[in-house]
Amino acid sequence: MAQICQLEASPALASSMSLNMDSDPLLVLLVIIILARFILWSCLGTFVDYRLARRRPSKPKQD
């Protein structure tokens, strides 16, 4: 006979699931804004480094 396994959620898993379902919408929005700001800041920094690297001449001018 096949036994039916019952999966019981651990207390940590249950608390994290209830945290995700019952979390404050403003807190979720704040986390999204902070993540977006970090990603945009990283992309902007990379772009500025790229632009500054292109402006340097590869060889000095010879008279």
Report the distance separating Cα 16 and Cα 39, nearest Å. Answer: 25
pTM beyond 0.85, yes or no: no
CA–CA distance, 7 with 36 (Å, rounded to integer) = 37
Residues 11, 19 contacting (CB under 8 angstroms): no
Give the tens place of pLDDT for each residue, 7-37. Answer: 444 555 555 545 555 679 999 999 999 999 9
Q: CB under 8 Å to 17, separation ≥6 — which residues?
A: 9
pLDDT at 4 over 90: no
